[in-house]
Structure 1
Amino acid sequence: MRTRFRCLVATGLVTAAALLLVPGAAHTAPATTTGVLGDDFLWGVAASGFQSEGQSPDSNWTRYIEANPGWDRLGDSVDFRDRYRSDIALAQQLGVKVFRIGVEWARLEPHPGVWDADAFAYYDDVIAAIVAAGMRPMLTLDHWVYPGWEADRGGWDAPGMVADWLTAMRRVVDRYAPRDPIWVTVNEPVAYIVHEVQQHGTDADVMLHRIAQVHNDIYDYIHQVQPNALVTSNVGYVAGAESQVNGPLMSLIGGKLDSIGVDYYFGYEPPDLAADAPGPPTGMWDLPVHAEGIYYALQHYSTLFPGKPLWIVENGMPTENGQPRADGYTRSQHLRDTVYWLQRAKSDGMNVLGYNYWSLTDNYEWGSYTPRFGLYTVNVRTDPTLARIPTDAVAAYRDIIAHDGVPAGYLPSRPPADCRLVDPPASCDTPVRAP
C-alpha cells in the first residue's frame, strides 16, 4: 500500500472531482443503531513481502531504490524473513482470524524458468505457522514486485509478461490451494500502474488491460484448483474520485471478484481548500484522515455490487517517524472510530465480511521508513535489534476483537467532518451522523 500515489491524489491528480461537489446536504441518512460485527467477522492484519521480509532478491523495486539515491535503502526492512514466527505469534495474541502476506515472485523464480526450492520452503513454513496459530492465510500474488529479469524484458510493456506471470502464479496456486487461503491477485492495481509509469515509463493503458487479464485468468484457475476459494483484488479507494480512478479497472474485473477488496485510508481535500493551505503535504501523515469515510467507501461498492461481500483489505493511519500526529489523533482512537463506522455500515445492510489492519508492524513504505502504520513500531533506522514496540492500538484492537467490535453506546472520538472533506458527492448528498 500507501505510497506517494496518495500524495499525488491529494495534490491534484483528481482535481476534476471538484466538479462533483454538491454544496450543503440534500438530506441526512437516518441514524441507525450500531450492533457488533459478530463471531463470524474476519478480523485480520496485513503485511507485504517486499516491504517487510528483507533479504530481497533482484527485482523492479530493488532497482527503483538504486535509481533514487534520495530514498531510504531497503536493507533487511523489519526482517520478517527471519522473525515471521514471532510476528505471527503477535498476531495470534491479538485474536485475529486472518494474516495477510505476499508471496514474492522475484524470490521464487530468480532466473527465467529456475525455481528456488528454498524460497518455496520458506513460504511453506510461513503459511504453516499461520495455520498452526489458528489463522487463515490471505495470500497476495502480486504486491507491485516482479523479478529483475522480467524488468530487463520490459516489465508490463513486454508481450510475454502475462504468460510469465500466469506461469508463476499457477505454480503458487497449485502449491498453496490445499491450505485453503484467501487470495488477493494484484494489490491496488491503479497505484501499481502509477508507480510503473513513474519509475519504468510503462504504458498505463497497456498495463491496465494486462493486469485485468492476469486477474481474470488466475481467478478462473484458482477456482479450478480450489472451488470454494475467496478471490479478490483490492482497490486503493480514492475519496471524491473513486469512479474515475478505479472505475475503469472494476469494469474489467468486477465480474470475477468473490468479494470486493477495499483499501481505505484518506479523506478528500477540495482544490479550493487545498489552494489556501500553507503548502502541499510533506508526507502521508499530512493527508486528511476521516474515519467516517470508510462508510462511504463501503456504500459505494455496496451500491455497485448489491449483496456482494465487502472486505477492508487494508486500513490504518500513518504517523511521521513514530511521532504523535499534529492533530493529536491517536492510533487507538482512529481504530475504534473506524470500527464504529464499520458497524454502522453493517447495521445499514452492507455485507461487510472482514477487516485487515495495515499493518502488523512498521515497514518499508516504498522509498521511506518515515511513514509508520504499524500496530507495533519498529525503529529500523536507529534500533539494530528491530524490536517490536506495541503502540496504543495493540490493546485497543485486542479488545475490539474480543468483543466483536466497539460497544453499542460508543461514540466516535471525532465527530464527522464537513461533508466536502470526506467523500463528495455521497458524503454531502446523504451524510451519516453519529447518533
Structure 2
Amino acid sequence: MALTCLLGALAFPTRASAEVPDDFLWGVATSGFQSEGSSSDSNWSRYSDSGRTHHKIGDSVDFRHRYAEDIDRAADLGSKVFRFGVEWARVQPAAGIWNETEFAYYDDVVAHIRARGMTPMITLDHWVYPGWVVDQGGWTNPKTEADWLVNAEKVVERYSGIGALWITINEPTVYVQRELTYGGIALTQAPSMFDSLVRAHRAIYDRIHVLDPGARVSSNFSFIPGVSEAIDSVFTDRVRDKLDFLGIDYYYGVALNNPTAAYAALDEFYNVTPQPEGLYDALMRYSDKYPELPLYIVENGMPTDNGAPRADGYTRANHLRDHIYWMERAREDGADVIGYNYWSITDNYEWGSYRPRFGLYTVDVLGDPTAARIPTDGVDAYRRIIHENGVGADYVPVMAPAFCSLVDPPRSCTATR
C-alpha cells in the first residue's frame, strides 16, 4: 500500500475545515432475513432451500436471539441510528393472521434501540415476503400490492410516535433483479413489478405521514455507476415527490483503470477494487439532480472474502475513513448529506452466500457454532470517526482517485475535485 499512500498524498488538495454538524446521523445497518435466522416461510427461505444458492440460510448470525448484544455494540460505537427490518413473513405468517409473539420481539428490538439512545431506522421491505404470498404468485399477482400495504400500515401504526426513520422498500432495482434471478417473476413481468413498488411506496408514504406525523420517509436505492439515469427512471424519478430524503447505497465505482465492478455482477464483491471518490461523484450528482432532497448514505461498506485480508492490504478501517473523507468533501461542495450508515454491524447472509463478509464484527457462521462476534479494525476506526464527527481536514486518503471515473460520466471523468 506504500505506493498508493504516496499517490494519495500527492493527489489531494489542502482542505478547509470539514464542518460536519453535531446532529449528523451516524449509524449502522442490518436486515431481518439476512441476520435473524429462525426464518419463517418466505420467498427467500424457499430460494435458500432450492439448491440454487451457495449456502442455506440456517440460523445466520441469530440476531433473532442476540439482538440486544448487537444493539449494545452499535451503541458503544456512538451510533445515533440503528437500521433493521420488520419481516412481513414473521409477523403475518398466513393471510389475515398476525403473530403477536413476533411483534413482541420487534417491540423489544425497538425498546433496546431507544434505551441505548439511538433512533430506529425501520425497513418495511428488504426483498422478503411470506410464503403464502409466494403461493398466490408474489409480485405477479396484483393482490400482493394490497396485501403489502396492509402489513406496512400495521407496522407503521405499531411503531408510530417513536421518532423512527422509515425506509419503505430496500433497493427496488436489485429487488426486481433478484426476483428475476430466482424465478419470482419473468422478464416480461419486471415493468409491472416496478409499477407495483412505485404505487406501494407512494401509498405508504402518505399513510406514514398520517399515522406518524413528522416522520421522515425514504426508499434507499443501489447506486450502479454509469447507468444512474436508467436506474432512476424506473423508480426514484417516479417517487421523487414522495421522499423526505434520498437514501443512497454506494459500494463500488468504475473507471478506465478500474474495471473490477464487473465482479459485482457475479456477486463477488470482495474482488472489487474500492473506489472511494466515487461516493463524492454520486453525492454531487444527486445534490444537483434533486436539490430539494437531503441525502442519506443508507448503506456503504466493504466485503472481504471469508474474512481474509485483502491481497492489496486495504482494510475496513481504510475503507471507512476514505469514504467519510469523500463524503465530507461533498458536503464542503454543497451536498446536503445528513447521515451515514455502515453496512453492516455484523456479517450476515448475503443473499445466498456467507462468503462476502461486510461486518464491523465478523462472524464465521459456517465454522463457528457459537457465532462469536469478532471485532475488525473497522470497529475502532468507526468509533473514532463518530467521536470526532468525521475524519477532519488533515486526513489524507489511502486510496488515490481512479483515472477517469465513470461513476457519473462525463463529469466524474473530467472534474477537478
Matched residue SS, 2:27? strand
The residue aligned with 1:372 is 357
Per-residue deviation, residues 39-63 of structure 1 (Å, max 9, x unmatched): 1100000000000000010000011
Q: Structure 2 matches for 1:200-215, cutoff 5 A?
A: 200-202=184-186, 203-215=189-201
Count of aligned pairs: 403
Q: Does 1:36 align with 2:19?
A: yes
Supply the distance in 2 between the matched residues of 1:36 and 1:212 (Cα, whole angstroms).
36
The residue aligned with 1:177 is 160
Q: Does 1:162 align with 2:145?
A: yes
Matched residue SS, 1:219? helix
Q: Which amino acid aligns with 1:309?
A: P
**How far off its partner does 1:327 sit?**
1.8
The residue aligned with 1:348 is 333
Per-residue deviation, residues 145-195 of structure 1 (Å, max 9, x unmatched): 000000111111101011100011100000001212100000000000001
Which ranges of structure 2 fall in alignment gaps of 5 or more residues?
1-10
The residue aligned with 1:17 is none
Supply the distance in 2 between the matched residues of 1:229 and 1:290 (Cα, whole angstroms).
33
Q: Which amino acid aligns with 2:398?
A: S
The residue aligned with 2:243 is 257
Which residue, out of 402, 411, 416, partners 1:426?
A: 411
Supply the distance in 1 between the matched residues of 2:34 and 2:259 (Cα, whole angstroms).
31
CA contact (8 A) 1:34 1:344 kept: no
CA contact (8 A) 1:43 1:354 kept: yes
CA contact (8 A) 1:98 1:138 kept: yes
Q: Structure 2 matches for 1:24-423, cutoff 5 A?
A: 33-199=16-182, 200-202=184-186, 203-268=189-254, 274=259, 283-420=268-405, 422-423=407-408
**How far off its partner does 1:298 sit?**
0.7
Q: Which amino acid aligns with 1:180?
A: G
Q: Which amino acid aligns with 1:392?
A: D
**How far off its partner does 1:33 sit?**
2.4
**How far off its partner does 1:201 sit?**
2.8
Matched residue SS, 2:161? helix
How much is the aligned-residue C-alpha RMSD, in angstroms? 2.1
Q: Which amino acid aligns with 2:336?
A: N
* Range with greater deviation from structure 2 (226-235 or 299-308): 299-308
Supply the distance in 2 between the matched residues of 1:75 and 1:265 (Cα, whole angstroms).
26
* Range with greater deviation from structure 2 (353-362 or 321-330): 321-330
Supply the distance in 2 between the matched residues of 1:79 and 1:282 (Cα, whole angstroms).
23
CA contact (8 A) 2:346 2:358 kept: yes
Supply the distance in 2 between the matched residues of 1:30 and 1:319 (Cα, whole angstroms).
30
Runs of 4+ in 1 over 3 A off after TM superposition: 28-32, 272-275, 420-423
Supply the distance in 2 between the matched residues of 1:430 and 1:401 (Cα, whole angstroms).
30
Matched residue SS, 1:44? strand
TM-score normalized by structure 1?
0.89
Per-residue deviation, residues 219-268 of structure 1 (Å, max 9, x unmatched): 00000011211000000001111111233211211110000000000112
**How far off its partner does 1:307 sit?**
3.8
**How far off its partner does 1:273 sit?**
7.5
* Range with greater deviation from structure 2 (77-86 or 36-45): 36-45
Matched residue SS, 1:419? coil
The residue aligned with 1:21 is none
**How far off its partner does 1:204 sit?**
0.6
Matched residue SS, 1:178? coil
Per-residue deviation, residues 56-78 of structure 1 (Å, max 9, x unmatched): 10000011112234520111100
**How far off its partner does 1:348 sit?**
0.9
CA contact (8 A) 2:253 2:405 kept: no
CA contact (8 A) 2:280 2:327 kept: yes
Supply the distance in 2 between the matched residues of 1:214 and 1:317 (Cα, whole angstroms).
31
CA contact (8 A) 1:237 1:246 kept: no
Supply the distance in 1 between the matched residues of 2:110 and 2:354 (Cα, whole angstroms).
26
Supply the distance in 2 between the matched residues of 1:92 and 1:243 (Cα, whole angstroms).
37
CA contact (8 A) 1:33 1:344 kept: no
Per-residue deviation, residues 296-323 of structure 1 (Å, max 9, x unmatched): 1111111111142100000001110001
Change (3 A) 1:281 1:421: farther
CA contact (8 A) 1:235 1:261 kept: yes
Q: Which amino acid aligns with 1:288?
A: T
**How far off its partner does 1:429 sit?**
3.0
CA contact (8 A) 1:32 1:347 kept: no
Supply the distance in 1 between the matched residues of 2:50 and 2:185 (Cα, whole angstroms).
14
CA contact (8 A) 2:255 2:403 kept: no
